[in-house]
Amino acid sequence: MNTNSNQELHPVKSSVYINVFYLLIGLTILTLAQPMVIDLDLGSTLIVQLGIAFTKAILIVAYYMHIKSSSSLFKKLIYTTVVLWIVLYTLMAIDTYYRYTPNDLFR
Amino acid sequence: MNNVQKSFYDETHTIFGHHKNKILQWIFSIDHKRISLMYLFVMLAFFAVAVIVALIMRLELFSPGQDFIDPNTYNQAFTLHGVIMIFLFIVPGIPAALGNFLLPLQLGARDVSFPKLNLLSWWLYVFGALLAVASLFIGDGFADTGWTFYAPYSVKTGTNVVWALSAAFILGFASILTGINFVATIHRLRAPGMGFFKMPLFVWGLYATSWIQILATPVVGISLIMVILERTLGIGIFDPTKGGDPVLLEHMFWIYSHPAVYLMILPAFGIASEIVPTFCRKPIFGYHAIAISSAMIAGVGYLVWGHHMYTSGESEMIKLIFSALTFFVAVPTGVKFFDWIATMYKASIDFKTPMLWTVGTFVTFIIGGLTGLIVASVGVDVYLHDTYFVVAHFHYAILGGVVFLMFAGFHYWFPKITGKMYDEKHASRAFYVIFVGFNMLWFPMFLAGMFGMPRRYFDYLPEFEIYHKVATMGSWLFALGLIYMFATLYRGWRYGEKAGANPWNATTLEWQIPSPPQLENFGTIPYVDFMPYEYKDGEPVHHFDLAVKEDSPHE
Amino acid sequence: MSNTVSTEPEIIYDKQGNPHEVVDFNNDYEGAKLGFWLFLFTEIMIFGAMFLVFGFYLFQNTPEFMQSSGELNRVLGGTNTFILLLSALCMGLSLVKLRNGQPNTSKKFIWATIVLATIFLVIKYIEWSHEIHLGIYPGSPTLNEMENGTKLFFGLYFTMTGLHGLHIIIGIGVMFWVLALINSGKITSTDFVVLENTALYWDLVHLVWVFVFPIFYLIY
Ligand code: HEM
Q: What band does B23 get if pLDDT is binned at 50, 70 and 90?
A: confident
Please indicate, yes or no, if residue C13 is contained in any of the structural domains: no
| B90 within ligand 1 shell (Cβ under 6 A) | yes
| Residue from B51, B58, B80, B81 whose mutation best tests the ligand 1 pocket (most atoms within 8 A of CB) | B81
Q: What is the CATH number of the domain that holds B107?
A: 1.20.210.10
Asked if the model's pLDDT at residue B358 lies above 90, the reply is yes
Interface subset of B 327-386, CB within 8 angstroms of A: none
Give pLDDT, residue A10.
57
Contact between residue B378 and residue B321 where contact means Cβ atoms under 8 Å apart: no
Closest CA to B209 of B91, B112, B124, B34: B91
Rounded Cα–Cα distance for residues B535 and C165 (Å): 58
| B54 within ligand 1 shell (Cβ under 6 A) | yes
Q: What band does B31 get if pLDDT is binned at 50, 70 and 90?
A: very high
Burial class (CB in 10 A: 0-12, 13-18, 19+), C17: exposed
Asked if the model's pLDDT at residue C7 lies above 80, the reply is no
Q: Identify the domain containing residue A19 by its residue range.
A: 13-69
Name chain A's partners: 3 or more CB pairs within 8 A: B, C
pTM score of the predicted model = 0.92
Query: Is the model more confident about A40 or about C115?
Result: C115
Asked if the model's pLDDT at residue B180 lies above 50, the reply is yes
Q: What is the mean pLDDT of residues C167-186?
A: 94
Q: What is the pLDDT of residues B182-221, one digit of tens each?
A: 999 999 999 998 989 999 999 999 999 999 999 999 999 9
Give the count of domains, chain A.
Answer: 2
Give pLDDT, residue B423.
93
Instruction: Write the DSSP assignment of B314-331 as a string of letters.
Output: --HHHHHHHHHHHHHHHH
Chain C environment of A74 (Cβ under 8 Å): 34, 37
- C28, B526: Cβ pair inside 8 Å? no
Q: What is the mean pLDDT of residues B461-474?
A: 94
Closest CA to B485 of B376, B377, B381, B411: B411
Chain A environment of B187 (Cβ under 8 Å): 73
Distance (Å) from the alpha carbon of B88 to chain A's nearest alpha carbon: 27
Please indicate, yes or no, if residue C74 is contained in any of the structural domains: yes
What number of H helices and E strands is found in chain A? Answer: 4, 0
Do A93 and A59 share a structural domain?
no
Q: What is the pLDDT of residues B89-110, one digit of tens each?
A: 999 889 999 999 999 999 999 9
- A104, B320: Cβ pair inside 8 Å? no
Q: What is the pLDDT of residues C87-131, one digit of tens each?
A: 999 999 999 989 888 889 999 999 999 999 999 999 999 999 999
| Residue from B49, B53, B62, B85 whose mutation best tests the ligand 1 pocket (most atoms within 8 A of CB) | B85
CB atoms within 10 A of CB B530: 14
Q: What is the pLDDT of residues B294-308, one digit of tens each?
A: 999 998 988 999 999
- The H or E element that residue C92 is part of is helix C74-99
Rounded Cα–Cα distance for residues B253 and B228 (Å): 14
Interface test with C, best of A65, A70, A74, A90 (most C CBs within 10 A): A65
Do A75 and A58 share a structural domain?
no
Q: Report the SS3 class of residue C20.
A: strand
- B181, C21: Cβ pair inside 8 Å? no
Contact between residue B362 and residue B340 where contact means Cβ atoms under 8 Å apart: yes
Asked if the model's pLDDT at residue B240 lies above 60, the reply is yes
Please indicate, yes or no, if residue C59 is contained in any of the structural domains: yes
Rounded Cα–Cα distance for residues A71 and C24 (Å): 19
Chain C environment of B114 (Cβ under 8 Å): 31, 35
Do A106 and A78 share a structural domain?
yes
CA-nearest residue for atom 41, ligand 1, is B146
Q: Which amino acid is at B50?
A: A
Burial class (CB in 10 A: 0-12, 13-18, 19+), A68: middle
Query: Is the model more confident about C48 or about C28?
Result: C48
Rounded Cα–Cα distance for residues B490 and B79 (Å): 30
Q: Which amino acid is at B499?
A: A
Give pLDDT, residue B389.
95
Provide CB contacts within 8 A for A82, sequence distance 6+: none
- C49, B235: Cβ pair inside 8 Å? no
Give pLDDT, residue A104.
78
Give pLDDT, residue B1.
41
Asked if the model's pLDDT at residue C1 lies above 50, the reply is no
Give pLDDT, residue A1.
36
- How remote is the CA of residue B391 from the centroid of ligand 1, in Å? 7
Give pLDDT, residue A43.
84
| B236 within ligand 1 shell (Cβ under 6 A) | no
Helix then strand then coil, in percent of chain A rounded to 5, is: 75, 0, 25
Asked if the model's pLDDT at residue A4 lies above 70, the reply is no
Share of chain C above pLDDT 70, in %: 96
Give the count of domains, chain C.
Answer: 1
Do A77 and A62 share a structural domain?
no
Contact between residue B494 and residue B467 where contact means Cβ atoms under 8 Å apart: no
Angle CA(A59)–CA(A64)–CA(A66) in degrees, nearest 5? Answer: 100
Instruction: Write the DSSP assignment of C31-75 as a string of letters.
Output: HHHHHHHHHHHHHHHHHHHHHHHHHHHHHHTHHHHHHHHHHS-HH
Rounded Cα–Cα distance for residues B177 and B213 (Å): 9
Rounded Cα–Cα distance for residues B513 and B496 (Å): 20
Q: What is the CATH number of the domain that holds C47?
A: 1.20.120.80
Asked if the model's pLDDT at residue B2 lies above 70, the reply is no
| B284 within ligand 1 shell (Cβ under 6 A) | no
- B215, A87: Cβ pair inside 8 Å? no
- The H or E element that residue B79 is part of is helix B71-83
Chain B environment of A91 (Cβ under 8 Å): 303, 306, 318, 321
Give pLDDT, residue B4.
53
Share of chain B above pLDDT 90, in %: 68
Please indicate, yes or no, if residue C143 is contained in any of the structural domains: yes
- A49, C218: Cβ pair inside 8 Å? yes
Rounded Cα–Cα distance for residues C70 and C66 (Å): 6
Provide CB contacts within 8 A for B473, sequence distance 6+: B440
Please indicate, yes or no, if residue C87 is contained in any of the structural domains: yes
| B485 within ligand 1 shell (Cβ under 6 A) | no
Please indicate, yes or no, if residue B86 is contained in any of the structural domains: yes
Do A17 and A58 share a structural domain?
yes
Contact between residue A73 and residue A29 where contact means Cβ atoms under 8 Å apart: no
Query: Is the model more confident about A88 or about B554?
Result: A88
Q: What is the mean pLDDT of residues B174-186?
A: 95
Give the count of domains, chain B.
Answer: 1
Do A59 and A40 share a structural domain?
yes
Do A84 and A57 share a structural domain?
no
Closest CA to B315 of C41, C7, A82, A91: A91
Q: Up-side HSE of residue B77: CA atoms within 13 Å toward CB?
A: 21
Q: What is the mean pLDDT of residues B27-56?
A: 94
- How remote is the CA of residue B40 from the centroid of ligand 1, in Å? 20
Q: What are phi and psi of B272, to 5 degrees?
A: -60, -40
Chain B environment of A92 (Cβ under 8 Å): 251
Please indicate, yes or no, if residue A45 is contained in any of the structural domains: yes
Which spans in B94-160 are helix H? Answer: 100-107, 115-134, 153-156
Do A20 and A38 share a structural domain?
yes
Please indicate, yes or no, if residue A3 is contained in any of the structural domains: no
Q: Report the SS3 class of residue B540.
A: strand
Asked if the model's pLDDT at residue A8 lies above 70, the reply is no
Q: What is the mean pLDDT of residues B153-157?
A: 85
Interface subset of B 168-227, CB within 8 angstroms of A: 187, 215
Measured CA to CA in angstroms, residue B317 lies from B244, B314, B373 at distances of 22, 8, 19
Burial class (CB in 10 A: 0-12, 13-18, 19+), B59: middle
- B244, C43: Cβ pair inside 8 Å? no
Total residue length of chain B? 555
Q: Identify the domain containing residue B335 by its residue range.
A: 32-540
Q: What is the mean pLDDT of residues B43-65?
A: 94
Give pLDDT, residue A9.
44
Residue A61 forms contact with C (CB below 8 Å): yes
- B183, C34: Cβ pair inside 8 Å? yes
Contact between residue B377 and residue B323 where contact means Cβ atoms under 8 Å apart: yes
Angle CA(C35)–CA(B213)–CA(C173) in degrees, nearest 5? Answer: 45
Do A106 and A74 share a structural domain?
yes
Residue B321 forms contact with A (CB below 8 Å): yes
Rounded Cα–Cα distance for residues C149 and C146 (Å): 8
Share of chain B above pLDDT 70, in %: 98
Give pLDDT, residue B54.
96
Please indicate, yes or no, if residue A48 is contained in any of the structural domains: yes
Which spans in A38-71 are helix H? Answer: 42-59
Do A23 and A35 share a structural domain?
yes
Do A97 and A55 share a structural domain?
no
Please indicate, yes or no, if residue C114 is contained in any of the structural domains: yes
Q: Identify the domain containing residue C54 by its residue range.
A: 32-217
Q: What is the mean pLDDT of residues B360-384?
A: 93
Asked if the model's pLDDT at residue C188 lies above 90, the reply is no
Give pLDDT, residue B219.
92
Mean pLDDT value across chain B: 91
Please indicate, yes or no, if residue B14 is contained in any of the structural domains: no
Give pLDDT, residue B550.
61
Q: What is the pLDDT of residues B211-238, one digit of tens each?
A: 999 999 999 999 999 999 988 888 888 8
Q: What is the pLDDT of residues B308-355, one digit of tens each?
A: 999 888 888 899 999 999 999 999 999 999 999 999 998 889 999 999
